[in-house]
């Protein structure tokens, strides 16, 4: 598979069903490697490539891809919100997230779904920490966080606290999901990031949904990290998860120093890709794809 070309044209692969990832930038994407493994496992004739789009040409690039016979696209930054606006039909989780990362057409209409939250939940529970009954602290209030709150709620934690630099932005997410939280008797609240040290609860799972890892920084001060570590009942019982992947982030290193287990978002990338493949290919057996072997292969690269 050619994983360098970013000008994906389905017409160049007439004997295969063509999918791809669209973004700006997109050359760094690992998605073609991942989907090539899934296609091999499922014994399906699929080609998956990379599709670069200029910022002002997203809609036209998508239209051309499908006109030329493309079957589906994964959508990455900065186009997830615009993919959402493009869709005629949205899944429940895409509607909840307000962003789309799985896009396809049926009868000329765009369909959208979101697998980010499912990918995160699957990867956390592969840790293995079961989310049910846990207290979860989520950092950030952007699109990445919006996409994971509903899948987290569906796993029935006791509490989710969303902490963001601007509390009002976190509160808006809380208000969107409060009906589902109340129906499941789950505590859902927002706080300002600066007020972390006022929290007295023990958080088994802490998720960094900010882009701080890309900037070589952590959303926490050292004092905040130490405070959170004091609330866990014993060392190494907590998981600090950073959605960023590629190398240990400042957040991961910081939380490891205070005795949290740490994990990056590479497993989330693989799991959300598996969900997309299953949606597109209508796989009957949800566990047909061996994500663990794909994750191991990528980590060894």
Q: Which residues are catalytic?
A: 80
232: which strand partners? none
Are 76 and 50 in contact by the 8 Å Cβ rule? The answer is no
Sheet of strand 17-23: strand arrangement: 46-52, 17-23, 72-75, 102-106, 109-113, 89-90
Cα distances (angstroms) measured from residue 136 to each of 65, 93, 193, 258: 40, 20, 15, 17
110: which strand partners? 105
How far apart, in whole angstroms, are the C-alpha atoms of residue 243 and residue 182? 27
Strand stretches in the chain, DSSP E: 17-23, 46-52, 72-75, 89-90, 102-106, 109-113, 135-139, 159-164, 187-192, 205-208, 239-242, 261-263
């Amino acid at each position: 598979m050619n994983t360098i070309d970013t000008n994906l044209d389905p017409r160049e692969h007439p004997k295969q069903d063509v999918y791809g990832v669209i973004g700006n930038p997109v050359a760094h994407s690992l998605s073609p490697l991942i989907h090539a493994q899934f296609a091999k496992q499922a014994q399906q004739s699929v080609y998956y490539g990379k599709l670069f789009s200029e910022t002002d040409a997203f809609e036209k690039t998508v239209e051309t891809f499908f006109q030329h016979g493309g079957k589906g696209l994964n959508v990455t930054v900065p186009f997830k919100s615009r993919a959402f606006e493009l869709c005629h039909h949205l899944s429940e989780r895409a509607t909840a997230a307000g962003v789309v990362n799985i896009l396809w057409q049926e009868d000329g209409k765009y369909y959208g779904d979101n697998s980010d939250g499912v990918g995160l939940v699957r990867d956390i529970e592969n840790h293995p920490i079961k989310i049910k009954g846990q207290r979860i602290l989520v950092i950030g209030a952007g699109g990445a966080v919006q996409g994971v709150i509903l899948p987290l709620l569906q796993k029935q934690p006791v509490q989710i606290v969303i902490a963001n630099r601007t509390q009002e932005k976190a509160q808006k997410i809380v208000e969107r999901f409060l009906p589902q939280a109340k129906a499941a008797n789950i505590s859902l609240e927002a706080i300002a990031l600066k007020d972390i040290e006022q929290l007295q609860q023990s958080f088994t799972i802490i998720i960094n949904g900010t882009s701080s890892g890309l900037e070589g920084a952590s959303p926490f001060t050292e004092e905040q990290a130490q405070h959170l570590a004091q609330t866990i009942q014993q060392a190494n019982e907590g998981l600090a998860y950073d959605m960023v992947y590629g190398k240990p982030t400042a957040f991961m290193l910081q939380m490891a120093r205070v005795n949290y287990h740490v994990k990056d978002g590479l497993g989330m990338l693989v799991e959300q890709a598996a969900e997309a493949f299953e949606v597109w290919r209508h796989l009957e057996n949800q566990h047909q794809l061996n994500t663990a072997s794909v994750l191991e292969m990528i980590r060894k690269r």
